[in-house]
A and B are shown apart, each in its own frame.
Chain A
Amino acid sequence: MSFLNIDSVKERTFDAIVVGSGISGGWAAKELTGKGLRTLVLERGRDVKHVTDYPTTMMQPWEFAHLGQMPKAITDANPIASRCYAFREDAAHFFVKDAEHPYVQDKPFDWIRGYQVGGKSLMWARGTQRWSDYDFDGPARDGFAVDWPIRYADIAPWYSYVERFAGISGNKDGLPQLPDGEFLPPHEMACVEKHFSEQMAKHYNNTRPVIIGRCAHLTKPQPIHLQQGRGQCQNRSLCQRGCPYGGYFSSNSSTLPWAAKTGKMTLRTDSVVHSIIFDEKKNKATGVRVIDAHTKETKDYYAKIIFVNAACLNSNLILLNSKSTRFPNGLGNDNGLLGKYVAFHNFRTTISAEHEGFTDSITEGIRPNSSYIPRFRNVFKQETDFLRGYAAGFGANRVMNVDTAGMGESLKTSLMETKYGNWRVGSHMMGETIPKETNYVTLDPALTDAWGIPQLRISVAYDDNDEKMIKDFHEQMTEMLTVAGFMNIQTHDKPDKAPGLDIHEMGGVRMGKDPKTSLLNKWNQFHTCKNVFVTDGACMTSTSTQNPSLTFMAITARAADHAVKEMKKGNL
């Protein structure tokens, strides 16, 4: 019998374990297997195979029973998921349904999740702007959160490394607050976007650039992308369904199949991670406790190093739930800061306007991207009464006016006519929020989920800094649109829109130099448990104004490189 047990333990022992298969877990899997480690990747949801498990990807618009709109029974049953813009008939199957995975909202928080192989990398909006030193320097300069243990120079080569593999389109704009990357050709800007850009350059002396957004699309596939089995982006802009061409970056089309090709990856789906196992004698983590999603059977898996990539709040949950005699309050949580300093991006407000000019031009086709206004507030010096700043998406198109008056043949005739109205522009704010101790997550002492794991209590809210920033966005954008000749400028704040819907939650297991004020060191290792690495949104010290996913990818690749080097030196 003892032999059998030994065999069983051996079967459950790997060099490395990666918890989660989303955008950062996929990178951890690729890097660790690529460096020869036998790696177990744990995914709590079902498998989603590239192409074959994208059931709606080739459906025509008219093939959806409700033209995309969700049936009322589903929106009524899923008020949280339904608030997400992409929870529609074509992609709803990739989103977590409210009742199946409950959590406690101490304050309103729309927690949007994708529990399947690939996670949210299937449905993300694909913005991939680098962060700059103005972001990594931020806390030290402005006195919030704690100092980042890394700077742009530490991460820059890793940005290049992941950009080349993932495929990022963009223009080299030479902006200090938004460093250039290894770009594939950029998408084109619409004429009214170009006009706005030119007017801003003129009126603000090049201090308020308007550029094309950088995003994870293969505008011109390179050999490395073809080797992954991916092809040219077809500009369908149906990405949230899963892309059969691999035209945008997802774990499913890119990192996971690459890891699988090494023969070193074992992917276990339907594996809900309960906790990290800490061994008091060895003074390190030895493995991961897993509950089968269906049978609810508990099994332990073992490895020398563990990467936690469950997505920000779930990584916090797992670590808080990893209790031992050494760490009674959660893994590595000697200072009691685990779960605290959670922050996000403020997407609460938008602005729209029209332009009466450019009547001889239209756009043609589809662009799976938009223009982008990098942060221009408080970049080089503090100039407002709020900390930090905001970036903004910006897009222009010309809408067709449809005359719907009357009935019968006259109505039919007018529906057939193509009449162009004014150009319309819209912009949405992406504000940096300040990580604060009062924004935190904890485990509920009594409530559990279907797998007996404590439910997460989320207590995260906007603050005065966010309100001031919203006001400034309205004022500055109104001024900018006015000087560029736009009219009918309207701001649309949604004070009821809760945090979370931005899907950019970060923090709770922040990096830092000092074990007293942070959980992770500059290599994303726990200060007090060196063989556990956290490299998803949970590790972020502050939030910048730029989309965070590219930074998660770069940080993960960098940490995996360090982990393997340390392992080979016998330090882990």
Chain B
Amino acid sequence: MQRRSAIKQVAVAFGGLMSLPAWASNWTPESIGSVSFLPVSDEDLLGELVETIIPETNTPGAKSLKVHQFAMRMIQDCYGEPAQTALKQGLVLVDQTAQQAYTKAFTACDTPQRLEVLTQMANASDPAAKQFVEMIKNLTIQGYRNSEYFMVNQLKYNMAPGFYHGCVSVIK
């Protein structure tokens, strides 16, 4: 509903003269859609990975903010074929690493075990494992920090009305 209130502010700025454009009422957060080039099980696994990197605490974690869908979409649409292959191979590698360490699937591991699997991969001599964790971690941070939740609540993002002050004291 952020969008609606922003449009209201436009209307207020114009003394209510502005009529709402057609596309304004058609928008929903879901209209972006999700990209599912991965099997459902892989998508779930990716969800658990991003959640391990940024978990739910008293505030939402990466999974409930759908950061895994963002990561998938970026790799599919923007990153090119080598990254798409790296994603598929990396997901296999995650389960392999979990099996070796704890003789169970990654999703069956508890939180410390999951963190250990990812840390192991990040420090592995295998460049594929290392690069995969790096790519997913970077996308998780990017997706999380640019999510509606983080931008509104943490960064206090507000599109308009805006202002600029060139010199403000840092609040200690």
Are A52 and B21 CB-contacts (below 8 A) given A62-B146, A70-B78?
Answer: yes
User: How many residue pairs at the A-B interface have CB separations less than 8 Å?
Assistant: 150
With a cutoff of 8 Å between Cβ atoms, the chain A residues found around residue B157 in the complex are 60-61
Q: In the complex, what residue of chain B is closest to A237 when comparing beta carbons?
A: B162
B77→A364 contact, CB < 8 A: no
With a cutoff of 8 Å between Cβ atoms, the chain A residues found around residue B40 in the complex are none
How close is B165's CB to chain A, nearest CB, in angstroms?
4
**Contact of A408 (CB < 8 Å), options: B10, B52, B142, B145:** B52
Q: In the complex, what residue of chain B is closest to A64 when comparing beta carbons?
A: B32
Chain B interface size, under 10 / 10 to 19 / 20 to 34 / 35 or more: 35 or more
- Which of B10, B33, B144, B151: most chain A CB closer than 10 A? B10
- Stretch in B22-30, B88-96, B100-108, B124-132 touching the partner: B22-30
Q: How far is the CA of A433 from the CA of B154 in the complex (A)?
A: 46
A234→B160 contact, CB < 8 A: yes
Chain A interface size, under 10 / 10 to 19 / 20 to 34 / 35 or more: 35 or more
With a cutoff of 8 Å between Cβ atoms, the chain B residues found around residue A187 in the complex are 164
B33→A367 contact, CB < 8 A: no
A361→B168 contact, CB < 8 A: yes
A412→B54 contact, CB < 8 A: yes
Interface status of B118 (Cβ within 8 A of chain A): yes
How close is B83's CB to chain A, nearest CB, in angstroms?
10
Q: How far is the CA of A238 from the CA of B10 in the complex (A)?
A: 14
**Contact of B115 (CB < 8 Å), options: A188, A194, A359, A408:** A408
Tell me if A's interface is mostly helix, strand, loop or mixed. loop
Q: How far is the CA of A557 from the CA of B7 in the complex (A)?
A: 35
With a cutoff of 8 Å between Cβ atoms, the chain B residues found around residue A412 in the complex are 54-55, 57, 61
**Contact of A235 (CB < 8 Å), options: B142, B151, B162:** B162
A244→B10 contact, CB < 8 A: yes
With a cutoff of 8 Å between Cβ atoms, the chain B residues found around residue A231 in the complex are 13-14
B78→A415 contact, CB < 8 A: no
**Contact of B162 (CB < 8 Å), options: A52, A71, A236, A407:** A236
Q: How far is the CA of A191 from the CA of B144 in the complex (A)?
A: 31
B13→A188 contact, CB < 8 A: no
How close is A127's CB to chain B, nearest CB, in angstroms?
17
B162→A69 contact, CB < 8 A: no
Interface status of B137 (Cβ within 8 A of chain A): yes
Interface string of A233-253 (1 = CB under 8 A from B): 011111000001100000000
With a cutoff of 8 Å between Cβ atoms, the chain B residues found around residue A59 in the complex are 3, 27
Q: How far is the CA of A194 from the CA of B167 in the complex (A)?
A: 10
**Contact of B163 (CB < 8 Å), options: A191, A235, A361, A416:** A235
With a cutoff of 8 Å between Cβ atoms, the chain B residues found around residue A65 in the complex are 32-33, 73, 77
A407→B115 contact, CB < 8 A: yes
With a cutoff of 8 Å between Cβ atoms, the chain B residues found around residue A363 in the complex are 164-168
With a cutoff of 8 Å between Cβ atoms, the chain A residues found around residue B148 in the complex are 60, 62
With a cutoff of 8 Å between Cβ atoms, the chain A residues found around residue B166 in the complex are 188-191, 193-194, 363, 367
B79→A72 contact, CB < 8 A: yes
B22→A72 contact, CB < 8 A: no
Interface status of A232 (Cβ within 8 A of chain B): yes
Interface string of A361-378 (1 = CB under 8 A from B): 111111100000000000
How close is A502's CB to chain B, nearest CB, in angstroms?
26
Are A244 and B55 CB-contacts (below 8 A) given A235-B162, A365-B164, A407-B115?
Answer: no
Q: In the complex, what residue of chain B is closest to A187 when comparing beta carbons?
A: B164
With a cutoff of 8 Å between Cβ atoms, the chain A residues found around residue B137 in the complex are 404, 407
Interface status of B2 (Cβ within 8 A of chain A): yes
Interface status of A409 (Cβ within 8 A of chain B): yes
Beyond contacts A60-B157, A193-B166, A229-B14: 12 other A-B pairs, Cβ-Cβ < 8 A, are A60-B2, A69-B78, A72-B77, A234-B160, A236-B160, A361-B168, A363-B166, A364-B165, A366-B162, A402-B141, A407-B52, A408-B53
CB-CB nearest 6 A-B residue pairs: A235-B162, A191-B167, A367-B164, A234-B160, A365-B164, A188-B166
